[in-house]
A and B are shown apart, each in its own frame.
Chain A
Amino acid sequence: MTRYAMVMDTRRCIACHSCTVACRTFNDLPLDMIYNPVLTDGPVGVYPNLHMNHMPLLCMHCDTPPCVHVCPTGASKQEDDGIVWVKAETCIGCKTCIQACPYNARHIDHALGVVAKCDFCKDRVRAGKEPHCVKTCHQRARIFGDLDDPASDVSRLVNSLNTIQLLEELETDPQVFYILGTGGQG
């Protein structure tokens, strides 16, 4: 089985926001819709002993996606390969899924009245290419692939490194895994 997942190596991220721009440009999103913000925590500390961490966010394509279970029309779907997406024709814009998502991954398209979100660039991915945000990243901080393929980079990293899942305690089993670093000197 294929299970798409992403590894976010925050040790490499420099918060250049190129992934955010690539996503919105190539997906032709409304100006105020951001699928994948990149947050910066810091610099934290007492000058000059500081550290800084960057956290790119996006839809986690959870294994137990609360957004899919609450959808009353079936517009919010999860495929066998794990990709969670919204079928716009079936969406009525009730926004229940937005309320259910802990990761702020879902957004209202005001022009169409439906909910929109990152879908891991599913058409590209199924054609063997990388999502736009992964491809554009100069730092190679985003690694994408099939978690069920033991030879893939994501599988190797998730298993051999200490990665974390955001808001793990909420038990949505997000499939974006974060490698955290020290964030500073030494």
Chain B
Amino acid sequence: MLDDIDLSDPGIVVKKSCCYFCHQNCGVLAYVKDGDVLAIEGDPEHPTNQGGLCCRGNIALKHLNHPARINKPLRRVGERGSNQWEEIPWEQAIDEIAERLSRIKEEFGAEALATAGGTLRTDDWARRRFMNLFGSPNGFHNALLCWIPTFMVETAISGWSPFETDLGNSRVLVLWGQNPGASGMPGMRGITDLKKLGLKVICIDPRYTETAAHADLWLPLRPGSDSALALAWLNVIIHEGLYDAAFVENWCVGFTELAEHVAQYTPEWAAPLTWLDPELIRESARMYATTKPGNIQWGTSVDQIGKAAGATMHARALLRAITGNLDCPGGDLMTGPSLDFVTDEEMEANEWLSEEQKAKQIGSDRYKLTTWPGYGRIAEIAKATWGKAPTAEWMCEAHAPSVFRAILTSDPYPVKALIVSATNPVNSYGNSLEVLEALKAVDFLVTCEYWMTSSALMSDYVLPIAGALERPIIHNTYGCSDSLIASQRAIQPKFERRTDFTFWHDLGHRLGQTEMWPWENEEEAYYYMLYPLGYDISSYDDFVERYRFHFPPMEYYKYGEAGFATASRRIELYSSVLEELGYPPLPTYVGPPENEIDDPEVAEKFPLVLTTGGGFMPYHHSEQFQIKELRFLKAEPYMEINPKTAESLGIAEGDWVWIETLRGRIRQKAGLTNGIHERVVFTQRGWWYPERSALGSDPFGVLESNANVLTSTSDEHCDPIGGSWANRGLLCRVYKDTEGGTR
């Protein structure tokens, strides 16, 4: 254990590794002897966590050495889903997979292969590189739920998403559907420290979260009604003259059109839609606009409200622009891509994917901004400005639900193979029932995993993946920031585990891509990427040990010289990119994906409003449920319901209840709380029961309490602009579980 380590022992080496259980990658010092990690602790010198570690960081060794980890490649024997496997060597597995993919490509085309990913913890440029060289445009992640549509909308408007918040100089922070108190510990510490110095915090969240309790203003809006709120803020700021007239005059396009457009979106109009008091809407808009400079920090929620997502992001993005809070000290900065090191996009070999194949990207005909049509245009503008573009893996992906449906229906064409890496799709993609069906139906399924999940269970091959402490990582905000933090691996992967980079590399070698994979391992690739920075280093590990991170100084008013990276060189409140793609150039009002005004028949049967997807300790999506030390603290799923509502439904604290939508139903325990509106309920995400049987209709209980059984991925509920499906702002009903037992 840590306290038994004798640091004077010459056999002990200290490695500057990182935590791997969310993509903040807090610094971890690993004490290594004879190729194994004896102990870990938080790295006090790491800029992100400065020695602190959350629940998950602390159990790294439990994860590394867990008895249920998959340690050897598995090949299915017997029926799909029967959990019968034979262990085969890695090389053989890769050979067989490559062979099968080759045949599928021959018969159905490269586009018949799709890949599914999760929340980073992988070298996604390697995945994209492989896919581009293979010829398939159908890679995807949960991108559309997590920042990417926001990034693309904001980039379309101002040239690069302004995600670099200069909080140290800020005076007001808007947390729009973000709860760092439960999921972004380092960020929460920063906010807490700055609050003491006077930073004002506005928290927009239907729930009274850990973060809301620290805010100056809490706006508990109706889930999914963010569009109305954002438009009302625009209305207040413009019509009360609180906008930065000089900035708007000199640097924005379309202000007159915008002002006219939002005149109708008064706080009184927004109040019944958002369930917020009009005075609170005014007060909060004024607070943001007049407490300068200020930041609007992104949270996943607006990416998860389905059809309202794109329009809302657009409106929200304009708030920064008209208040002049862009690229100024204390505002939201647009770093642009790094010009000093090799970006992820440059590692992706995008130029190798033919236009013909790009056009086959599933979903690109409908959801244009986050697929080749939109990404292509934005990349073009970015390259004209900087010579570099945003990362394609993430920003330019196939539409996941459409791919799952293509597997099931062969529309627009058959998808015959799926490689799942670093995700548990049945848990984490919308409409679990449809996803599970697709996994069972796809001809060829390969999963790269730590654990036997319900998704891995359906595979033909499961490959053992190396994770925390077994791999290095460059933390670099999806390849889009100009800074980076580097961590080294503590040990080589144990058993037959390999990293995802090795997977794509090895597969690439088998499929004729050898010359395009000159790096044997991550350290070589990362060294190649860092080399242009000009540090005097002889290897990647050298960089980690001696420098650890690269933070270029913050630059303000970069637009002063050449304007913004848009077609007009100005901020496009009236967006030319969106217009070109066939979308409204000004943000329209779009109601929540399911709501009582637009869907009254649905509301009659399902009178409560559902929000889901919010993170909570100690889990991260569907991870950590096997770690007993963590599971002990939250052994059962708890949904949140207002006590008055619970009483009217005959529900007491701790009762098992069903939460049902048009898609399906799940059961969780009732957690009565004052911190939520009487007509809103919240279900925890990620729940499955890995201790249960793999067999049967509900393997590992993945359908029993999993919020994604309730969510919707239908085309009518998806955002037409970016394709986000609907996790929040849905209609549901809740009733006590009198049936007892499991589902």
Contacts and interface: CB of A to CB of B under 8 A. Distances in A.
Interface of A: 12, 14-18, 20-22, 24-28, 31-32, 42-48, 50-52, 121, 123-124, 135-140, 183-186
A121 B1 CA distance: 13
Contact of B54 (A24, A138, A186): A138
Interface of B: 1-3, 41-42, 49, 51-55, 57-59, 62, 181-182, 185-186, 188-189, 192, 208, 210-211, 213-218, 220, 617-618, 628-630, 632-633, 642, 673-678
Contacts of A123: 3
Nearest to A32: B632
A26 B58 contact: yes
Q: Across chains A and B, which 6 residue pairs bring their CB atoms closest together, nearest first?
A: A138-B185, A43-B675, A138-B52, A14-B181, A14-B210, A21-B55
B1 A28 contact: yes
B54 A18 contact: yes
A16 B215 contact: no
Nearest to B630: A21
A51 to B, nearest CB: 7
Contact of A186 (B55, B216, B677): B216
Given A22-B53, A43-B675, A138-B189, A31 B1 contact: no
A25 B59 contact: yes
30 contacts: A14-B214, A15-B210, A16-B618, A18-B53, A18-B185, A21-B58, A21-B618, A21-B629, A24-B629, A25-B62, A26-B1, A26-B3, A26-B58, A31-B628, A31-B629, A43-B673, A45-B674, A47-B208, A47-B220, A47-B642, A50-B675, A52-B213, A136-B52, A136-B57, A136-B58, A138-B49, A138-B188, A139-B185, A139-B192, A186-B216
Nearest to B193: A140
B617 A16 contact: yes
Contact of B218 (A22, A183, A185): A185
B408 to A, nearest CB: 40
Nearest to B62: A25
Given A26-B2, A44-B674, A136 B188 contact: no
A42 B220 CA distance: 16
Contacts of A183: 213
Given A18-B185, A26-B1, A123-B3, 5 more contacts: A14-B211, A22-B53, A31-B629, A50-B208, A138-B185
Nearest to A139: B189
B268 to A, nearest CB: 19
A48 B220 contact: yes
Nearest to A9: B192
A136 B1 contact: no
Contacts of B629: 21, 24-25, 31
A27 B4 CA distance: 11
Contacts of A52: 208, 210, 213, 675
A64 B418 CA distance: 66
